[in-house]
Structure 1
Amino acid sequence: MKKLLLLFMAIVLAGCGETGSVKERDLEEDVQNLPGDNGNAKKPADRSGAVQKLAAAVNGFAFDLYPLLHESAEGKNLFFSPASIHLALAMTYNGAAGGTKEEMAAVLHADGMETGELNGSYASFLNMAEVKKGKNELKLANSLWLKKGYPFLEPYKKTVRENYGASLHEADFADPQTGEAINRWAEENTKGKIKNMVNRIPPGTVAYLLNAVYFNGKWAFPFNKEQNFEDDFYAGGKNPVTVEYMTNEREYPYFENGQFQAVELPYAGKEFSLAVILPKEGESLEEIVGQLTPEEWERWSQSFAPRRGTVTLPKFQMEYETSLNEPLQRLGMESAFSGLADFSNMVENGGVSIDEVRHKSYVRVDEKGTEAAAATSVAIVESAATDSFHFKADRPFLFLIRENRSGMILFIGELTEPGAK
């Protein structure tokens, strides 16, 4: 059995008319109108040039970040929302200045856009993107949690509120209930799929910027559960595991080359689709990941064409969690995490930096469709002064007890197991 990669959930936003129930012959027409139909796909009327430019920035960011997360996953499951991460960082970016802003712009692929253009594009996208009709639902939410009494600039708060629809909350970060409130917000805005977004609020925290995204889509062509079967799944040379497969035979947008097969599964109403890329026997997933760029993805996606065949997928569910500090710094966003950070457009006189960018996600794929959720948090803390330090004895250490007048060492020890007696 071949390896399977859930590579990309391609969000295709269409018009705002009611979908209702769709007859099968209409769904067959939907396949003909999906992106990649030899250039003959219908273009959604509300995808403005600004939103398309924003989508290109998010996709560029996605294909930069994905290889780094793939590398750190070391063969384990991986699932993330580049849109959620980009949104949270875009809100943070509005508070940056100087070199920090330049670095963030490059990482976010926003260096070709004025800040106002980026914000306006997101305002348009958020206004058009939310869907709760027919069989599909897409919800995006943003929030800004600020330390009560801290000198955040009013223009910054206004920009985030008006362009990103962020709810603003003044909070006492020393109060454990603040962390509970943040976790409730993330859980409520992901239909209970993302829990415990914030485990512990570090000392010196002055802000949290959060995004949450929730998606629930029903297949245009549901799988028949009665046709499910169990078979082996082979992963990276490991022993096979038995999984439950679902199968469907009909016409789908399809594309293949010498390295992989690719199929696109539409959700009801044409607004969304799931693309799956499967390496051919003898081909490695790593080689495909190495080729993946926005330009290559665009070329592949334009090569899809309707073709009848059988699609067999495993049912699966997974959760994923990671800190994005290291990959974002590797992409070039370095000063934002250091004492050199310049967020003077967020806080009067600056003096703050990013402590952590954390991402959590969930996905379930079954006979009916796909449910997915993700949340991203950006924690902002007061920057350490240049002559200060952080000392955290969280690893084995040596200690000495001495008599100070003589300098005589009375005891020497090592702590390697704090719980032992």
Structure 2
Amino acid sequence: MTIPDQTRAQAQDLLNFIDASPSPWHAVQSVVQRLLAQGYKELKEAERWNLMQGGRYFVVRGGASVIAFRLGQRALAETGFRMIGAHTDSPGLRLKTHTAQASDGVVRLGVEVYGGPILATFTDRDLSLAGRVNIRTADGFTTRLLKFDTPQVRLPNLAIHMNREVNEQGLKLNKQTELPLIFGMASDKQNAREQFLGHVASTLDVNIDDILTYELNVFDTQPGAFWGAEQEFIADSQLDNLASCHAALTAMLSSEDASATNICAFFDHEEVGSESATGAGGSFAQDVIKRIANALGLDAEAQHCMLAQSFFISADMAHAYHPNFPNAYEPSHRVMVNAGPVIKTNANQRYATNADTAARFMTLCEAAGVPVQHYTHRTDLGCGSTIGPIIASRLGIASVDVGCPMWAMHSLRESAGVMDHGHMIAAMQAAFRS
């Protein structure tokens, strides 16, 4: 397989993006840094918006969701907008509020399961912690991002001598009693809470008593990598769904002078249902679109015209065919790695795709010169969902669900194809130009 230099560079940039973004808050920080470097201006929700035709803007809500947009060259009521949505969160482990506990000579950190991770993949990995910490100030508090670059915690497996059936029955972990992570040896001078918070405080150079709250998740410190006989695959954490965020952002930043207004919307909490102020089920997308329309002077009738002319691409990863498990797939819908973006369809509206929107995305792929695949889940297996149906129903716009094929979705170490990421960027560039 011949992989163009640009495509490989895009895949490497994706791995760099993921490795710098071990939490949803870090992911938004990574997005914002790239937006600022391209001349985008930050807007605040609590301030009035004054927008200029052709202007570039972004707004952050809750630290873990961000919507960026570039106003098009033509009137918004005539073209509508071209919007790509994805999510910043990934399934995994989150620290409990009172996380540290000392017993049997060690300090362990209690965790909650966030979303639907493959828990067994967290064992025997070089794990660390990342997220946000709220620090007391004279007039309230300030938020600091925290990322420990070196391994801080571990979830050791039980030896096979004490779990003889593990290879036949699979690794099963009790979420309450068997997931606490080993953090360190217990101290005679500090209790477990002081030992943990003291470590955080020292890293942030603050006092323990000034730490008010934190939201920290567990991540794998192993960096992303290319693999395969021709290095045609990539492996990393959080490909679901930071790969879609990266592809959409890259496409928007490289698509100049678009006729229609372009929007990238990246939401938190998709993995737990999206029903939050910062999730796709909240008002964030509607609020931003309404404020754009109001700032440009569109009356109610013009706003309806705007929505009728718009197109939304919900970008989330797709299930690639795994040759070791053929019975897990619908026989006529086996999508392959490095064979192009995937259009996802479900008759019960778990995906937003319909015949019209699928055809529209197919023509975009044709215009970009990239292949396209179609995926439908096995009828006798439960189908996951995305932000697609949520945004489509709230905005009332034509929508399609797509994604790059990948293996080991929701594993701590996921895999995908180098070519697919480049193909998805090209398809999204065509969407923003349309």
TM band (smaller chain): under 0.3
Work out which of the two has the higher radius of gyration on C-alpha atoms and give 1 or 2. Answer: 1
The normalised TM-score by structure 1 is: 0.21
Which structure dedicates a bigger proportion of its chain to strand?
1
